[in-house]
Each structure stands twice: as structure tokens, then as C-alpha cells.
Structure 1
Amino acid sequence: MTINRRQALSQIIGISTAAAGATLMGTSAFAATDEQGNYKLELGEKLKYVPLDPMATAKLAYETGGGCMHQVFHALVTMLANSESADAAKFATIPTALAGYGWAGIVGQGTVCGNNNATGMLVNILDDINGQNAAVIGASFRYYEVTELPFSSDEFVAGIGSTAEKTALVGKSSVANSILCHSSISNWSKASGFTFSQKGERCKRLSASVAYHVVELLNRAYKGEDISALPESKPSSEAQACQSCHGVESTMGSAASVKSDMECTTCHTGHFN
């Protein structure tokens, strides 16, 4: 059985209001319910994940507007709101429009890609998935860095509801070598010969590709697979080499302390540049 967002919200409000009316306390017994009985997600609250259909999620992301971060966050939250999760009704109350700021690396600034931003935002509100939440984020980010994206197989293009004709608007898939929008777009532009202003179809498919892979990782974690053991969840050998000097608790000589698993050599080519 599935419920839409309006029905889910009505259920939450109804349940919460009943609870509020059953007590003389100024606020509801539900920690995340206000005095009017309206539910809202509170800082630190975690919601239950259940396995989703990767292709259906990818298709929804592709069809959703508002930029890459909104596409991915809205798609996963909406799928969970219509799932068998015990917290489906709570997912339905999340205002996914808040993720609209993440387009083109945060309002066009070219920083962290909205697809990665959305992944962190989503996984951060999920209840513990066999201790693999952080590993899912890491694996997703590392995959984004080293994989030729967006997906372009005939099966994937058909699955998200796109066409072979629109593939011409993508040109070529490319490797970002970074979690940053700037690097991702630049490498795609170089590979395809297109400009930033022509990125529409490419970025729609990129969001669909990321949504698909994130759901795959979450489903595998849910089934008990150790995502942290996957090669793709670990920093590259180059990044790990940098960490040997630029540590979190100790450093080599005058080296700065750094906390990062992202690719280093994309921007830092050595100590003599």
C-alpha cells in the first residue's frame, strides 16, 4: 500500500493532534511535534530506510526539475514517502524544495556538486543501516570522482524515459576526478565540446545516474553488505599517500593537518608548483 504526500501529512497531523489532545502538557508527547500537533523533523532525528527500486528512483530524478541537488533529494525522499517504511509519513513532510539551492555547485558557485550534496543530506537523516551510513556517502563520492558519468546505456536511457535523440545533447560522458561541480562540468565540456550553458540534458542524466547508484548502495547496506570494505569506498592511493603526512591527529614536519577523503591531486599537483 502506498500513500501520497498529502495523505501522509494528514495522517501525521491527525496522529499528532490526537496525542496532543490527550495530555495537559503545553506540547505534544511527540518530541518533534509542535503545540499545534504538526510534525517536523528535528535535528538528530533518524528515519527508517527500506529498499527502493533504483531505476524508478532514477526516472523520478530525471523527471524532476529544480537543479541537480533537488532532483536527487526530492526523488529519494518522495520514493521513501511512498514506500513501506515505518516513517513513510514523516518522509512525506520533508520540504524537498529546500534542496533547490544546490544547483551548479551551490547557486552557480561551482563548488560541491549538488548530486553529492543531496546524497549527504539524505543519508544524514536515515536511521542506522547496519553501521554503513558513512560508508555509503564515502562510496558514493568516490564513485562520482572516478566513474564515467552520466550512464549512457540503451537500457538506462530507456529506463529513465529519455531517448536516443536526446543523447546527442549529452555528447560524451566524462570522469569528474573530483566531487566539485567545477571539475565535473569542465571535464565534460572538454570531452563533449559543449559549453556550460548546454549542460541541461547531461546534468539531468547525471542526477538520474547518481540517484540510481545511491539507491543501489543503500539497498546493499540494508541487506548487510559491508560497504566500507568496497574498494570504491576508500580514497584513492594518491589521496591516502597525502594523508600519511597531512594527518588528522598528527602530521609530518610542518605539514598542515587536513580532514579530507576527496581527490587531492585534481587541484594539488605537488609541493613544487
Structure 2
Amino acid sequence: MDKMTINRRQALGHIIGITSVAAGAAIAPSALAATPIEGAATDFILGKGEKLKYVKLDPMAVAKLAYESKSGGCMYQVFHAMISKLSESTSVDAAKFKTIPTGLAVYGGGGIAGQGTVCGNLNGAGMLVNILDDINGQNGAVVAALFRFYEITELPYMDDAFVTGIGSTQDVTATSVVSASIANSSLCHSSLTNWSEASGKTVAQKGERCPRLAAAIAMKLVELLNDAYDGKAIEGTKHEDNGSCTTCHGKAETMMGAPSVMTGMECQTCHTGHFN
């Protein structure tokens, strides 16, 4: 077992405990209130399989609102910012977007109620894309590309334009975020552990880093959706070794008795070989 694997597994117990407290604290009455929004379609309830029309949004405006919504946790930040901006947009379904209770997304904080599993940012993005009408046949590609982006990109953004755009400062960056990091996974616990190692801070000190991460993911989500809306091909970048894994471990066909596998995740995050 290599050093990285040991660190992640040892850290998971601590992360679960710490983020459970944070996630619980985020479930405030204001976030969960079902107060009707002015201009909402009062006779509309989103049904199973029902889809709403997307229109292009301003990536930085969504990122800023996501950052400002930090009290609800990362999944809430992404979902709430997207739904809120779509409810104010020129979409023919703007009034219907207003009816969606974004407080439902609070549960995803800390990798689903503090369990350190799938990152709430990705969970919220998936829930949002799921209710959008077909965008040039690329809704699934948007989700896949966002997951790959999350796995391989140094986040949160640290540049002046982003930091100023969301309403923070580089002084706060230097003291409370310190460093960006690469998650190498779609899991909350991996993302936080790698940031902790890069920054020298504990997970309990993630209060500024995670809201900025949510803002960055919300921003990227809008960029991908806007590109899809414009008819651009959406592509995600996978680790070059993943192709050799799925050669044997396919979804429909396998080789030499290999088990069948379905995943878009990075293989190397958890598997360094057949005996890992």
C-alpha cells in the first residue's frame, strides 16, 4: 500500500466526523424554507422526467452567487446559484425554475451529509443538468466533462479575476486557502485530503477553500452548458491509462475472465494494479 493510499484512508475517518458537523450546521431554516418566490408558476410542480429550457448564463455571475451562498454547503451553492440565475433569465421556463426548492440540495455538503463520498459540487451539477431539456444532445457530455475537469484541475481558481469576481481578496487567499490542489478523484475526501496536504491546513479549516471550489465548479458548469447551447462539441480529458483498463474491463465485453466495469472515474485513484 503506497503512502497516498494510507493517507487517504486514515484521513477519511477524520473528514467524515468534521464534515458531518459542518453539513449539519448548514441545514438552517432559511435554506430549507419553502416560501413562494415572486413570479413563480404557482400551478407547476416538476414531475419525473420533466425538463426545463436552458439559456446561456454569465459564468462569473453564477460563480459569485454560488460563493455568496456558502452557508448551505457546496451542493446547495452550485444548485441554488444555477436555479436562481435561470429563474431570472430569458428562459421560457424561468417561472418554473422559480418553483424549485433549492434547499433540497443542502444534504450534499461534505460528500453527502459529511460522508466524504461524491463531492457535493458534482452532485449538485448532476441534479441541475438532469432537469434541463436536451441541449444539442450533449447533456451527458457536460456532466462527464465536468467530472473529468474536477478530477484533473488545480482548484479552486487563484487568479485575481476570479477572486475579485466572486467578491473576495488575495489577502484572504493567502491566509485561508493558501494553495490550490488536484483532487485526482470525484470524491470529497480525496479532494479535501489533497488540499490539506498542499496547504498545510486541516480539514476543519476548509471554510474559505470549499466555497471557492463551489464557485469555480459553478463557473465551469455554465461555461460547458453555454458551449453546448452554442453547438460546440463537449469533450472531457481522461487519464491516458484508463483506456488500457477498459480494454479488458468493459461494460458489455470482457477479456480473460476480467470482471465487467462501468465507470467514468479515474481508475488510478483507487487501483494501482490488479492486486491493490
Which category of TM-score, normalised to the shorter sequence, fits these structures? Answer: 0.7 to 0.9
**CA drift at 1:235:** 2.9
Aligned to 2:12: none
Deviations 1:183-205 (A, max 9, x none): 10010000001111000100010
The normalised TM-score by structure 2 is 0.85
Which residue matches 2:211? 204
Pair 1:6-2:6 in alignment: no
2:47 corresponding residue in structure 1: 42
Provide the rounded CA distance (Å) in 2 between the counterparts of 1:106 and 1:155. 31
- 1:234 CA displacement: 4.3
Q: 2:254 aligns to what?
A: 251
Q: SS of 1:130's equivalent? A: coil
1:151 and 2:157 correspond: yes
Q: Percent identity?
A: 61
CA contact (8 A) 1:138 1:234 kept: no
* Larger Rg, first or second structure (1 or 2): 1
- Report the equivalent of 2:238: 235
For residues 272 and 193 of structure 2, the distance between their equivalents in structure 1, rounded to whole angstroms, comes to: 18
Tell me if structure 2 keeps the 8 A contact 1:49–1:80: yes
Is residue 71 of structure 2 the alignment partner of residue 87 of structure 1?
no
| Structure 1 segment 180-219 matched on structure 2, within 5 A | 180-219=187-226
CA deviations 1:121-164 (Å, max 9, x no partner) are 00010000000100000000000000000001011100000112
Q: One-letter code of the match for 1:202?
A: R
Report deviation, 1:237.
1.9
* Alpha-carbon distance between aligned partners in 1 of 2:100 and 2:138, rounded to the nearest angstrom: 23
Residues in 2 aligned to 1:212 and 1:111: alpha-carbon distance in whole angstroms: 22
Contact residue 239 and residue 261 of structure 1 kept, 8 A: no
| Structure 1 segment 88-107 matched on structure 2, within 5 A | 88-107=94-113
Letter in 2 for 1:207: A
Q: What is the TM-score of this pair, normalised by structure 1?
A: 0.86
Query: Equivalents in 2 of 1:109, 1:66: separation in Å?
Result: 16
Unpaired stretches in structure 1, ≥5 consecutive residues: 14-37
Gap runs ≥5 in structure 2 = 1-35
Q: How far apart are the structure 2 equivalents of 1:254 and 1:217?
A: 38
**Equivalent pair of 1:8/1:90 in contact (CA under 8 Å):** no
- Alignment coverage as a number of residue pairs: 239
- Residue 6 of structure 1: how far off its partner (Å): 2.1
Using the alignment, how far apart are the partners of 1:211 and 1:93 within structure 2? 20
Instruction: Give distance in 2, aligned partners of 1:236 and 1:165.
Output: 35
Which structure has the higher relative contact order (CA within 8 Å, separation 6+)? 2
Partner of 1:29: none
Distance in 2, matches of 1:180 and 1:82, equals: 32
In structure 1, the residue matched to 2:179 is: 172
> Is the contact made by 1:61 and 1:75 (CA closer than 8 Å) also made in structure 2?
yes
1:14-29 mapped onto 2 (5 Å cutoff): none
Tell me how large the CA RMSD over aligned residues is.
1.0
Name the CA distance, whole Å, in 1 between partners of 2:267 and 2:154: 19
- Selected match of 2:134 from 121, 128, 136: 128
